[in-house]
């Protein structure tokens, strides 16, 4: 029997209704639609409004859609991993809250924090439980309510980030479809360039930490840009080369949506035209752990069984990585014809 691979067998997603446009941001900070569009590619982003609604609200919506689309009963789920840096609260894990909300009573669940690379880390981690033969149905979700940690007076960050979540179902596959290879990296010395300083054990929340704006995202954009553009392209090229994939063999690049210029550079490095690059940054901005599953959500209808997908991400940590995955089904209206 051929080896067990972890295949994505369905996708769910959720973005909040409220659309924050560049024009609205022009009224909030000293910025312009022209600056945001040319520097980042972003036109609008979604914001989760409503008292008491956190990341688990969005992830639960995405997971419910996923269960519905794949005709999976929540009791069948073995494990839920939620990649996020904006958990509902420090503990319990957002994944525990999601499991409860969707009725996944037999699942164990935990969060994974790797910022913008979170979904890629979680995908690779979740796949191991399938490949080992331990579990049959693993949900990997990524989502962030970035608006909860963004200072809407800081033009260097507030134009970039948005809220959203997506989720995929992983199941065993014996046809050599699914996750083939991953390269994951991190470098904690990058913490100085991209972080949220307070609210953890080093600087617990206090009046002073609030007054000093330490509960917001801090980003020194240029160094992060330089690392991101180099490392994301490097790791995407490395995974393509070690799997003997040329630009012609790759059907889709699934890149983290931080900046259109970083995405374009990564695509050029592995020899891909823009028609093979998934992109929705113009509508959602940077949803951190949400970007990769939201791309799959938007592009699911165009994907075909056997398509070669290269995922690439870079984010706070620094964390970065790339994965090679062979897509397991045709189109959006997935009905279970194959016994995975
Ligand atoms: O997803 C996690 C990883 N994050 C990333 O990958 C993000 C990487 N970094 C970037 O994408 C870019 O660095 C940014 C989009 C954040 C910024 O673009 P940039 O081309 O690097 O601009 P900059 O930071 O060098 O700023 C250029 C100028 C500055 O003005 P001066 O000093 O030249 O007078 C900024 O103050 O643009 C100014 N600026 C703005 N102007 C209008 C910064 N933000 C804005 C703004 N609107 N929103």
CATH number at residue 80: 3.40.47.10
For ligand 1, atom 16, which residue shows the shortest CA distance?
221
In a domain, 14, yes or no: yes
Pair 109, 156 in one domain: yes
The Cα 330–Cα 245 span in angstroms is 22
Nearby residues of 77 by Cβ (< 8 Å), 6 or more positions away? 67, 99, 104, 106, 107, 137, 138, 139
Residue 156 alpha carbon to ligand 1 centre in Å: 6
- Dmax (CA) for the chain in angstroms is 62
Between the alpha carbon of residue 231 and those of residues 106, 314, 318, 320, 322, the distances in Å are: 39, 7, 10, 7, 10
Residue 220 alpha carbon to ligand 1 centre in Å: 8
The Cα 89–Cα 178 span in angstroms is 33
The pair phi, psi for residue 150, each rounded to 5°, is: -105, 135
In a domain, 339, yes or no: no
In a domain, 62, yes or no: yes
Is 159 a pocket residue for ligand 1 (Cβ < 6 Å)?
Answer: yes
Pair 46, 84 in one domain: yes
Pair 107, 174 in one domain: yes
In a domain, 340, yes or no: no
185: left (phi over 0), alpha (psi -120 to 50) or beta: beta
Residue 82 alpha carbon to ligand 1 centre in Å: 29
The Cα 277–Cα 283 span in angstroms is 15
Q: Which of 337, 335, 332 is nearest to 13 (CA)?
A: 332
Pair 104, 221 in one domain: no
3-class DSSP state of 250: coil
Pair 222, 173 in one domain: no
Query: Where a domain ends, among 178, 200, 220?
Result: 178
Domain that holds residue 23: 5-178
Is 42 a pocket residue for ligand 1 (Cβ < 6 Å)?
Answer: no
The pair phi, psi for residue 255, each rounded to 5°, is: -100, 145
In a domain, 294, yes or no: yes
Residue 233 alpha carbon to ligand 1 centre in Å: 20
Pair 89, 229 in one domain: no
Q: Which of 66, 314, 306 is nearest to 185 (CA)?
A: 314
Nearby residues of 250 by Cβ (< 8 Å), 6 or more positions away? 240, 270, 272, 276, 308, 309, 310
Is 228 a pocket residue for ligand 1 (Cβ < 6 Å)?
Answer: yes
In a domain, 149, yes or no: yes
3-class DSSP state of 269: helix
Pair 173, 190 in one domain: no
Point out the ligand 1 atom lying closest to the alpha carbon of residue 316: 2
Q: Is 286 a catalytic residue?
A: yes
The Cα 41–Cα 34 span in angstroms is 10
User: How are beta strands 194-195 and 218-219 bridged, if at all?
Assistant: antiparallel
Torsion from C-alpha of 225, 11, 307, 312, nearest 10 degrees: 20
Give me the residues of the chain with pLDDT under 70, please.
Answer: 1, 333-340
Name the residue of 222, 230, 265 to mutate for ligand 1: max ligand atoms within 8 A of Cβ: 222
The pLDDT of residue 338: 43
For ligand 1, atom 35, which residue shows the shortest CA distance?
156
In a domain, 101, yes or no: yes
CB 130 within 8 A of CB 77: no
Query: Where a domain ends, among 112, 143, 178?
Result: 178
Pair 147, 211 in one domain: no
Pair 67, 25 in one domain: yes
For ligand 1, atom 42, which residue shows the shortest CA distance?
31
Query: Where a domain ends, among 178, 204, 228?
Result: 178
Is 243 a pocket residue for ligand 1 (Cβ < 6 Å)?
Answer: no
The total domain count for the chain is 2
Pair 166, 225 in one domain: no
CB 142 within 8 A of CB 119: yes
Is 157 a pocket residue for ligand 1 (Cβ < 6 Å)?
Answer: no
Sequence length of the chain is: 340
In a domain, 260, yes or no: yes
Pair 42, 84 in one domain: yes
CB 254 within 8 A of CB 309: yes
CB 322 within 8 A of CB 235: yes
The pLDDT of residue 334: 57
Q: Which of 96, 116, 158, 173 is catalytic?
A: 116
Nearby residues of 13 by Cβ (< 8 Å), 6 or more positions away? 62, 65, 164, 165, 166, 167, 293, 294, 296, 297, 298
Pair 157, 188 in one domain: no
């Amino acid at each position: 029997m051929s080896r067990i691979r972890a295949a994505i067998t369905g996708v769910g997603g959720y973005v909040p209704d409220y659309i924050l446009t560049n024009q609205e941001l022009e009224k909030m900070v000293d910025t312009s639609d022209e600056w945001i569009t040319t520097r980042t590619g972003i036109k609008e982003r979604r914001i989760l409004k409503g008292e008491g609604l956190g990341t688990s609200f969005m992830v639960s919506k995405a997971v419910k859609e996923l269960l519905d689309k794949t005709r999976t009963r929540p009791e069948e789920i073995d494990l839920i991993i939620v990649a996020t840096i904006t958990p509902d609260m420090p503990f319990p894990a957002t994944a525990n809250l999601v499991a409860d909300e969707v009725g996944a009573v037999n699942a164990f669940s935990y969060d994974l924090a790797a910022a913008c690379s979170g979904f890629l880390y979680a995908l690779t981690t979740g796949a191991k439980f399938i490949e080992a033969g331990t579990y049959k149905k693993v949900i990997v979700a990524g989502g962030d309510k970035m608006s909860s940690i963004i200072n809407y007076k800081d033009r260097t960050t507030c134009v970039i980030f948005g809220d959203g979540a997506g989720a995929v179902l992983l199941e065993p596959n014996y046809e050599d479809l699914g996750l083939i290879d991953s390269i994951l990296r991190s470098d904690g010395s990058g913490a100085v360039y991209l972080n949220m300083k307070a609210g953890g054990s080093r600087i617990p929340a206090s009046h002073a930490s609030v007054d000093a704006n330490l509960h917001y995202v801090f980003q020194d954009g240029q160094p992060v840009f330089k690392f991101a553009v180099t490392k994301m392209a490097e790791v995407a090229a490395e995974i393509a080369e070690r799997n003997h994939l040329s630009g012609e063999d790759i059907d889709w690049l699934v890149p983290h949506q931080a900046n259109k210029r970083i995405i374009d550079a990564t695509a050029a490095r592995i020899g891909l035209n823009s028609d093979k690059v998934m992109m929705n940054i113009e509508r959602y901005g940077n949803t951190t752990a949400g970007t990769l599953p939201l791309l799959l959500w938007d592009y699911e209808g165009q994907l075909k069984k056997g398509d070669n997908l290269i995922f690439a991400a870079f984010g706070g940590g620094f964390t970065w990585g790339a994965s090679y995955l062979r897509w397991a089904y045709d189109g959006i209206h997935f009905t279970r014809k194959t016994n995975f």
